[in-house]
Amino acid sequence: MEKIGVVTVTYNSSEVIDKFLEDLFNQKFPNFFLYVVDNASSDNSLEKIYRLKESRVKIIKNSINKGVASANNKGIDSALKDNCSHILLLNNDVEFRDNLFEILINSIRSDKYSLVSPKINFFDNQDVIWYAGGFFNKYNGFLPTHIGLNFKDQGYFNEKATTEYASTCCLLIKKEVFEDIGLMDEKYFVYFDDTDFLYRVLKDNRHKLLYNPSATLFHKVGSLSKSFMKTRKNKIYRSDFFLSQNIKNHIYFLRKIGGYFAFVFCLILFFKNNIRFLLSPRIKLNLSTFILINKAYLAGWRL
């Protein structure tokens, strides 16, 4: 019988963890174990999990925050050692119905795919789509594009489909994928870890990814990663953390892809990032942000 190892990474997740745990332990599919990898939380996230006294929970504590890719790898490795047949990478800033696991595991079984992802809608606007499949856009530096993003959920994306990319916000993966492809690249602290992994799956061509809209999940987008910041005047900007990680990791990702096109796009990004700095209303127009953007660009060449 299939056994799912659910891997979730906590980092000061107290605001979202209660509903996540409630939805998790209400699942109709019972044969799962939860692997919580905590990246040195300073709040009471772990206290809430300990209070469950649930035998299906294993907590792995990191003394320092080594990032999402490293934490996911610890959870995946632990689940594989416990003979889990499938790994479910699952954010804890999500809410979902009691049949999520059942639909995903049945889909892998009947549709003969190695990976499956649900439809993902915004939590704050639940009739609007965040993800309904995805593909890598070569002419945007191989960045993944979410199909259906910001569309009203009116039935246009309700067919199963083979797809190229899925966020590890919620992704069920057969153990054989990790045996063939390997784990996450731990040089990505956050962002691009899933992009890199799914791109490797795509290029390897031994495993296929299915988008299955029969399962729907609601994502509290950006609630834990702190990708935006608000000033005293209530202006909203991209956070320094987000800019630094995204710029650096995009360069590193392109370098891993290799080839003439990826190299040229790395050079284009130098100008693109600085033009965006000058023109985007979501980026603070000051010297420290300019320096941060260009230091992150150079850091991507050194990774």
Match 């490797």 to its residue by tokens. 200
Going from N- to C-terminal start, the domains of the chain cover: 4-219, 228-302
* pTM: predicted TM-score of the whole model, two decimal places: 0.94
pLDDT for res 227: 72
* Integer Cα distance of 127 and 168 in angstroms: 21
Q: Which of 38, 33, 29 is nearest to 55 (CA)?
A: 33
Q: Which of 199, 206, 205 is nearest to 166 (CA)?
A: 199
Q: Return the structure tokens found at 161.
A: 């489909």
Tell me which DSSP letter residue 152 carries. Answer: B
Task: Count other Cβ atoms within 10 Å, centred on residue 165.
Answer: 25
CATH classification code of 4-219: 3.90.550.60
* Integer Cα distance of 89 and 170 in angstroms: 6
The more confident residue out of 268 and 232 is: 268
Question: Which residues, at least 6 apart from 164, have a Cβ–Cβ distance to it below 8 Å?
Answer: 134, 135, 136, 144, 198, 202, 209
Specify the pairing of strand 143-146 against strand 134-137: antiparallel
pLDDT digit string (tens) for 130-180? 999 999 999 999 999 999 999 999 999 999 999 999 999 999 999 999 999
The more confident residue out of 110 and 224 is: 110
Specify the pairing of strand 32-39 against strand 57-62: parallel
